[in-house]
Structure 1
Amino acid sequence: MYGVIINVDIKDKKNWIQRDDTEIGIANELIAAGVSKEYIVLGFHAPYKREFTDFAIG
């Protein structure tokens, strides 16, 4: 069985997480590596939901 576990795009100097099926969460790993939340977009959420997260809207 094959499939995509993580899909991250870099657009406009931001990390757009399109898919994350990991246990720890790639956003948490990026934060631990020193990436600011303002440069992480949870692309798997609808745009109107992103404003309610601590991460970038887009």
Structure 2
Amino acid sequence: MEKIERYRKYILKLLSDRAKFGSSYEEIEIQTIFDIERDHYQLVHTGWRNQRRFYGCFLHVDIKDGKIWIQHDGTEIAIADELVSLGVPKEDIVLAFHDPYIRQFTGFAVG
């Protein structure tokens, strides 16, 4: 359980730090969505720009079965690399946005 708590802290910090940068457009808000009870974590763009609606999840991370599952990473700096630099073993990180067959070639966990 200590490992899971550490992973939660890492994820909360990394996502919170990214949210602080804000959007490059002042009309667009970055929201953090943290479901700590079920271990789902997201960053979402929301707002309006030039009479067009902006909404979408650009980073989604879960903790399942003792591993960090990166469901979606639409950022320039890969969160997987940041987690590894914090000491999370690659065997505990699943790049879930890749097809299960492809995961075996990523150097990260397959599931």
SS in 1 for 2:105: coil
Give the residue type in structure 1 aligned to 2:78. G
Deviation string, structure 1 residues 2-58 (Cα, Å, up to 9, x no partner): 211110110000000000011111101111111110000000001111111100000
Runs of 4+ residues over 4 Å off in structure 1? none
Q: Tell me the distance in 1 between the aligned counterparts of 2:84 and 2:66.
A: 15
* Structure-2 residue corresponding to 1:38: 91
Which ranges in structure 2 are unaligned for 5 or more consecutive residues?
Answer: 1-53
Which ranges in structure 1 are unaligned for 5 or more consecutive residues?
Answer: none
- Structure 2 length as normaliser, TM-score? 0.51
As a proportion of its length, which structure holds more strand? 2
State which of 61, 68, 79 in structure 2 corresponds to 1:26.
Answer: 79
Give the count of matched residue pairs.
58
Larger RCO (alpha carbons 8 Å, 6+ apart): 1
Query: Is 1:54–2:94 an aligned residue pair?
Result: no
* Structure-2 residue corresponding to 1:10: 63
Specify the structure having the higher radius of gyration (Cα): 2
As a proportion of its length, which structure holds more helix? 2
